[in-house]
C-alpha cells in the first residue's frame, strides 16, 4: 500500500524521513489552534519546548497562519541542531483524522478545510490533525501533572477559552464518537432561555460560560450602570474573576453563575463516562482560584444533597492544568509522534 493511500495525505519527501540512524535531534511541531490565538510549539525528543510562536487566529486563512507560526518557531532553533520530522495540529470542530480535515468549527469560518495536506506540502513533513481537547487529554493521560494520576485510566480534559469542549480518554483510548464530535459539551444546553450560541442554538454552555460570554456579562453590568470595579475596564474574563476575588458583588455573581454551569458540566462528564479525573485548562483558567472556587463550591453543595454525587463525583475529581503548560500543543506533538510511528513500516530505511 502506498503512503499516500494509507494516510490520505500527500507523499512525504524522502529527505524528511525519520530513520533509526538519524544522528540529529528529531523535532516535532505541536500546533494549538484556538478561537483567539494559534500557537506553534517546537518540541525535542524529550518533549521539551525549544521554540514557540503565536499568531492571532484568523476567521479565514487559517492554513497560512499555521504555516507562518510554524516557520517562526522553527527559526528559533539553530541551523544544524536537528530536523523537523512531523507536525501535529490540534483544532476545534469536527475533525476528519484520516483525511486531515477540519469541519464544523463554530469559532472559525473556514467550512471544510483540508489543512493537513496543505501544511504537509508547505513544510515537507507528515502532518496529522486531531481535536484540540482530545489531543490534550491524550497528553495528560501519558504525562499527568500529578504523579498520583498515573493510576488514572478514565480521564477528560475540559477546555475553557473562546469555546468550551472536552476530550475524553477511556482505558487509554481517545473517544471520538460516530461523528467525531464526542465531548462537544460546550453545545449542551445550560440555559434554554440563554443567549444565542455560534452553533445556532440558544443557551449552550459555551454561550454562558466561555470567555466571550463572561466578558459580555461584565460589559452588560457596566453599561447598565451597576456599581462595580469592572467599570475601570477593560472588561475581560480575567478581570471579572479578579474583581470577584476582590469582593466585587457584581463580578462575584457572574463568577458564581459560571461556576455553577461548569460544575454541572463536570458532573455530567463524570457520570456519563465514569471518569476518575477531569482536568480543566484554557485561557479562562488563568484566573486561578477565583475561577475554580465557585466550581468546587457548587460541586460540594451537590455532594451535600446527594449520596450518589458524593460517591460518583468525589472531592478532588478536578485538577487545574498548570498555567505554565500548553496541554493542547503538547497533545498535538503526541499525535504527530504517534502518526510517525504508524508510518515507519511503510517508510523503509
Q: Are residues 164 and 274 in the same domain?
A: yes
Percent of the chain residues past pLDDT 90, beyond the cut: 72
Q: In this structure, are residues 220 and 254 in contact, taking their beta carbons and an 8 Å threshold?
A: no
Distances (CA, A) of 68 to 4, 61, 144, 154: 25, 11, 31, 36
- Evaluate whether 95 touches 64 at the Cβ level (below 8 Å): no
Residue 138 lies in a domain: no
197 and 252 housed in the same domain: yes
**Per-residue pLDDT at 14:** 30
Residues 177 and 249 placed together within one structural domain of the fold: yes
Mind listing the pLDDT tens digit for each residue in 194-210?
999 988 999 999 999 99
Res 7: pLDDT = 30
Spatial contact of 102 and 91, defined as CB atoms under 8 Å apart: yes
Mean per-residue pLDDT for 227-231?
Answer: 97
CA distance 249 to 182: 37
Residue 218: give its domain's CATH number. Answer: 3.30.420.40
Average pLDDT, the chain: 88
Total domain count, the chain? 2
Residue 16 lies in a domain: yes
In a domain, 141, yes or no: no
**In terms of domains, do 28 and 158 share one?**
no
More confident residue, 107 or 152: 152
Higher-confidence position of 87 and 181: 87
| pLDDT value at residue 110 | 67
Q: What per-residue confidence (pLDDT) applies to 145? A: 84
Same domain, residue pair 302 and 154:
yes
Work out the average pLDDT over 78-93. Answer: 91
Is there a domain that residue 169 lies in?
yes
Can you give the pTM of this predicted structure? Answer: 0.87
The pLDDT of 104-115, averaged and rounded, is 74
Together in a domain, 190 and 263:
yes
Residue 90 corresponds to which cell in the numbers above? 490540534
Is the pLDDT score of 229 beyond 70?
A: yes
Does 237 lie in the same domain as 124? no
In a domain, residue 175? The reply is yes
Check whether residue 93 and residue 228 sit in a common domain: no
Contact call for residues 336 and 128 (beta carbons, < 8 A):
yes
Q: How confident is the model at residue 347 (pLDDT cuts 50, 70, 90)?
A: low
Which residue segment(s) compose the domain that 55 sits in? 3-132+326-347
For the segment 12-16, the average pLDDT, to the nearest whole number, is 32
Residue 343 falls within a domain, yes or no?
A: yes
Structure-model confidence comparison of residues 108 and 156, the more confident one: 156
pLDDT tens figures, 56-77: 988 788 999 999 999 999 999 9
User: Tens digit of pLDDT for each residue in 295-328?
Assistant: 999 999 999 999 999 999 999 999 999 877 899 9
- Residue 140 falls within a domain, yes or no? no
In a domain, 216, yes or no: yes
231 and 83, same structural domain?
Answer: no
Reported as a single tens digit per residue, the pLDDT across 242-290 is 999 999 999 999 999 999 999 999 999 999 999 999 999 998 988 889 9
Give residue 106's pLDDT. Answer: 64
Task: Specify the higher pLDDT residue, 271 or 23.
Answer: 271
Residue 230 Rama label (left phi>0; alpha psi -120 to 50; beta): alpha
Predicted confidence at residue 344, as pLDDT, reads 73
Torsion region of 149: left, alpha or beta (phi above 0 gives left; psi -120 to 50 gives alpha):
alpha
Are 226 and 120 in a shared domain?
no
CA–CA distances in Å: residue 229 to residues 232, 237, 245: 6, 13, 11
Q: Are residues 208 and 86 in the same domain?
A: no
The pLDDT of residue 107: 60
Confidence of residue 94 (pLDDT cuts 50, 70, 90): confident
> 330 and 213 share a domain?
no
Amino acid at each position: 500500500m502506498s503512503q499516500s493511500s494509507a494516510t490520505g495525505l500527500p507523499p512525504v519527501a524522502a529527505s524528511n524521513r525519520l530513520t533509526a540512524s538519524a544522528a540529529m535531534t528529531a523535532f516535532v511541531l505541536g500546533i494549538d489552534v484556538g478561537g483567539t490565538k494559534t500557537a506553534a510549539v517546537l518540541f525535542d525528543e524529550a518533549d521539551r519546548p525549544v521554540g514557540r510562536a503565536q499568531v492571532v487566529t484568523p476567521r479565514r486563512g487559517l492554513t497560512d497562519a499555521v504555516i507562518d507560526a510554524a516557520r517562526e518557531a522553527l527559526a528559533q532553533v539553530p541551523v544544524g541542531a536537528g530536523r523537523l520530522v512531523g507536525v501535529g495540529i490540534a483544532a476545534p470542530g469536527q475533525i476528519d483524522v484520516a483525511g486531515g480535515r477540519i469541519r464544523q468549527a463554530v469559532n472559525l469560518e473556514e467550512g471544510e478545510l483540508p489543512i493537513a495536506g496543505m501544511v504537509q506540502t508547505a513544510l515537507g513533513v507528515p502532518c496529522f490533525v486531531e481535536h484540540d481537547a482530545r489531543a490534550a487529554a491524550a497528553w495528560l493521560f501519558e504525562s499527568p501533572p500529578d504523579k498520583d494520576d498515573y493510576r488514572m485510566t478514565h480521564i477528560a480534559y475540559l477546555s475553557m477559552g473562546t469555546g468550551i469542549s472536552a476530550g475524553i480518554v477511556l482505558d487509554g483510548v481517545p473517544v471520538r464518537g460516530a461523528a467525531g464530535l464526542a465531548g462537544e459539551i460546550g453545545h449542551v444546553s445550560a440555559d434554554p432561555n440563554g443567549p444565542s450560541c455560534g452553533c445556532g442554538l440558544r443557551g449552550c454552555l459555551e454561550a454562558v460560560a466561555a470567555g466571550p460570554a463572561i466578558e459580555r456579562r461584565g460589559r452588560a453590568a457596566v453599561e447598565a450602570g451597576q456599581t462595580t470595579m469592572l467599570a475601570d475596564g477593560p472588561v475581560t474574563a480575567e478581570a471579572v474573576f479578579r474583581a470577584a476575588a476582590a469582593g466585587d458583588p457584581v463580578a462575584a455573581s457572574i463568577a458564581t453563575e459560571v461556576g455553577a454551569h461548569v460544575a454541572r458540566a463536570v458532573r455530567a462528564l463524570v457520570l456519563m463516562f465514569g471518569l476518575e479525573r477531569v482536568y480543566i485548562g484554557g485561557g479562562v483558567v488563568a484566573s486561578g482560584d477565583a475561577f475554580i472556587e465557585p466550581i468546587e463550591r457548587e460541586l460540594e453543595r451537590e455532594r451535600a444533597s446527594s449520596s450518589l454525587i458524593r460517591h460518583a463525583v468525589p472531592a478532588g475529581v478536578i485538577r487545574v492544568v498548570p498555567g505554565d503548560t500548553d496541554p493542547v500543543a503538547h497533545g498535538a506533538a503526541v499525535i504527530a509522534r504517534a502518526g510517525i510511528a504508524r508510518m515507519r513500516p511503510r517508510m523503509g530505511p
